[in-house]
Chains A and B, each alone.
Chain A
């Protein structure tokens, strides 16, 4: 019933609405008919009705699950939801990539999420939007490193897409930088060096006399009165063109 009325309305509105918009909406209607027709109905009905505009705030409020953990990404790993879903196994445990044949391609997919679209069978990090790859949630980062050798696991083992793997590597690097993750420190043997700092390059050089006396660095920084002979010579040369004399600049 609603569908037929919608179709009638569409045909009537064919002349009034711009053509391109209509085409787009028709294609849209094919993808998700009910929602688009409902949305079409409201503005068109509004055009023909004498009612006042309804409140625009009746839009559905989308609960942003990710922003809860943006400040403290490690909190998600302590929630019941996480424990129910993963237990005490790493996040990538049990994930299997889909590929033809026994040997998987040696590179995982470039990224699971392009724009709004998510690929089929997304990787362990992309499939759970509350898992945030951040240098502060060390527990998540440690799941992607070998506990014995401290080596970062290859995406072939964990199944993450290449973009997330790159972000993981950067986060692990940052965490090591901030001292949140331990790593084998290189033992730097200090060679016997001269620490006296007596060489001119690093010791005190006495300042130049002009600096101390506050005189200008180059003498020509300040106005130097030229000798009288030169002035008279130039005056004689240009005596036909001399205007009124002004003072020195």
Chain B
């Protein structure tokens, strides 16, 4: 399906008249990553709001995510086989490390952050003559192999004779039945129900849950968004940001927290781990997304960097001023002591 999709819709351009409409309307729907795809702009107070897919935003997020090869390629619980040993020269080792870094960058590619898709509830026809003939609904799916799944016609005939388009959940289910995708089940696992999700989150298996969610749901479905937001809230509550560092979910989490203006916990965590560069990236991202806030204006006027930037941000925007001050103090003391040594 992926290979066939290449010719069809990888770099899809919408028809000309539609693009005009798309950008005019609040195009918060259309944020799919694609070179040929027009990036929709949210116009707020006349200034163009940055999207998740902008290069500047992506570079900041990937800087913050980091690239720990040991974590990306850590051994997984699987069928054991005897280990292989390779003897390499320095040059070969460098080449192998380079390849590993390339592979890691592919793995760390961030999944798209989209807003919820509009529900489908269109009635195509009403044949009252069919009322009472059937007791069940019939779902008709177009099974042409080459059509992309988002262009597939799936309609439902109700027992009352109404012919309507299938809802998004019905569409996903039918497409999984006829074109099964690896890692996805026809019926979503019971893990994604609220009680089970809370149990799993309390155990701290955030990465597993998010990976399963990506495998199971479409990025613009309600369940996907709900599960991701729930996970990010839990991580913020328990301050376990490090579990997602060096995974593809870190960018999405930072984007969510910055949009909700709840960056304090993350900032404290970064300072405590001596990641000052990441802290400055975070504050820069905050200023990009909220250019009207106090600290953004101050930073623009004064052109500050490093610890001073964090101090300005802390005084104007954050709620946990005390904690950030303490963390900064501890960091500066360690810096001083290591410099003295």
Which A residues are closer than 8 A to B by beta carbons? 148-151, 177-180, 182-199, 201-202, 204-205, 207-208, 211, 216-218, 221
A221, B118: Cα distance in complex, Å: 34
Taking the complex as formed, is B55 at the interface, i.e. its CB lies under 8 A from any CB of chain A? no
Q: List 13 A-B contacts (CB under 8 A).
A: A177-B189, A177-B190, A184-B78, A186-B215, A191-B10, A192-B33, A196-B12, A196-B14, A199-B150, A201-B154, A205-B124, A207-B123, A218-B129
A26, B155: Cα distance in complex, Å: 70
Please list the 5 inter-chain residue pairs (A to B) with the smallest Cβ-Cβ separation, ordered nearest first. A195-B32, A179-B191, A179-B200, A194-B12, A188-B215
Taking the complex as formed, is B107 at the interface, i.e. its CB lies under 8 A from any CB of chain A? yes
A221, B214: Cα distance in complex, Å: 48
The reply to whether A208 and B76 contact each other, CB–CB distance below 8 Å, is: no
The reply to whether A184 and B114 contact each other, CB–CB distance below 8 Å, is: no
The reply to whether B182 and A194 contact each other, CB–CB distance below 8 Å, is: no
A217, B160: Cα distance in complex, Å: 13
Residues in B with CB closer than 8 Å to A217 are 125-128
What is the distance, in angstroms, from B320's C-beta to the closest C-beta of chain A? 32
What is the distance, in angstroms, from A148's C-beta to the closest C-beta of chain B? 6
A-B contact count (CB 8 A): 136
A204, B220: Cα distance in complex, Å: 17
Residues in B with CB closer than 8 Å to A183 are 77
The reply to whether A184 and B128 contact each other, CB–CB distance below 8 Å, is: no
A189, B212: Cα distance in complex, Å: 12
- Given contacts A177-B189, A191-B5, A195-B112, A185 and B122 within 8 Å (CB-CB): no
- Given contacts A195-B114, A205-B122, A178 and B196 within 8 Å (CB-CB): yes
Q: With a 10 A CB-CB cut-off, give which of A180, A190, A208 has the most chain B CB atoms.
A: A190
- How many positions in chain B have a CB within 8 Å of any CB in the partner chain? 66
A179, B9: Cα distance in complex, Å: 35
A151, B182: Cα distance in complex, Å: 20
Q: With a 10 A CB-CB cut-off, give which of B14, B37, B151, B182 has the most chain A CB atoms.
A: B151
Residues in A with CB closer than 8 Å to B2 are 191
A50, B166: Cα distance in complex, Å: 77
What is the distance, in angstroms, from A54's C-beta to the closest C-beta of chain B? 52
The reply to whether B34 and A151 contact each other, CB–CB distance below 8 Å, is: no
What is the distance, in angstroms, from A145's C-beta to the closest C-beta of chain B? 10
Query: Which partner residue on chain B sits nearest A196 by CB separation?
Result: B30
The one of A188, A208, A211 in contact with B211, judged by C-beta atoms closer than 8 angstroms, is A188
The reply to whether B31 and A221 contact each other, CB–CB distance below 8 Å, is: no
- Given contacts A179-B196, A189-B106, A190-B219, A198 and B214 within 8 Å (CB-CB): no
A111, B124: Cα distance in complex, Å: 55
Q: With a 10 A CB-CB cut-off, give which of A149, A151, A179, A192 has the most chain B CB atoms.
A: A179
The reply to whether B109 and A189 contact each other, CB–CB distance below 8 Å, is: yes
A126, B10: Cα distance in complex, Å: 56
Residues in B with CB closer than 8 Å to A196 are 12, 14, 22, 29-30, 32, 37
Taking the complex as formed, is B152 at the interface, i.e. its CB lies under 8 A from any CB of chain A? yes
Taking the complex as formed, is B136 at the interface, i.e. its CB lies under 8 A from any CB of chain A? no
What is the distance, in angstroms, from A218's C-beta to the closest C-beta of chain B? 8
A192, B11: Cα distance in complex, Å: 8
- CB within 8 Å of A: which of B160-206? 165, 171, 181-184, 189-191, 196-197, 199-200, 205
Contacts A188-B183, A189-B107, A191-B5 given; 19 further ones with Cβ under 8 A? Answer: A148-B80, A149-B77, A178-B191, A180-B199, A185-B208, A187-B107, A187-B211, A188-B211, A192-B10, A194-B12, A195-B29, A195-B220, A198-B18, A198-B22, A202-B165, A204-B118, A211-B123, A217-B128, A221-B128
What is the distance, in angstroms, from A182's C-beta to the closest C-beta of chain B? 6
Q: With a 10 A CB-CB cut-off, give which of A183, A185, A216 has the most chain B CB atoms.
A: A185
A224, B5: Cα distance in complex, Å: 51
Residues in B with CB closer than 8 Å to A218 are 127, 129
The reply to whether A197 and B79 contact each other, CB–CB distance below 8 Å, is: no
1/0 per residue B117-142: CB within 8 Å of A?
11010111111110000000000000
Residues in A with CB closer than 8 Å to B107 are 187, 189
The reply to whether B32 and A193 contact each other, CB–CB distance below 8 Å, is: yes
Residues in A with CB closer than 8 Å to B165 are 201-202, 205
The reply to whether A185 and B150 contact each other, CB–CB distance below 8 Å, is: no
Residues in A with CB closer than 8 Å to B209 are 179
The reply to whether B9 and A149 contact each other, CB–CB distance below 8 Å, is: no
- Given contacts A177-B191, A221-B128, A194 and B9 within 8 Å (CB-CB): yes
- Given contacts A196-B29, A207-B123, A201 and B14 within 8 Å (CB-CB): no
The reply to whether B32 and A208 contact each other, CB–CB distance below 8 Å, is: no
A196, B212: Cα distance in complex, Å: 23
The reply to whether B118 and A182 contact each other, CB–CB distance below 8 Å, is: no
Query: Which partner residue on chain B sits nearest A216 by CB separation?
Result: B128
Residues in A with CB closer than 8 Å to B183 are 185-186, 188
A96, B18: Cα distance in complex, Å: 73
The reply to whether A188 and B214 contact each other, CB–CB distance below 8 Å, is: yes
What is the distance, in angstroms, from B16's C-beta to the closest C-beta of chain A? 12
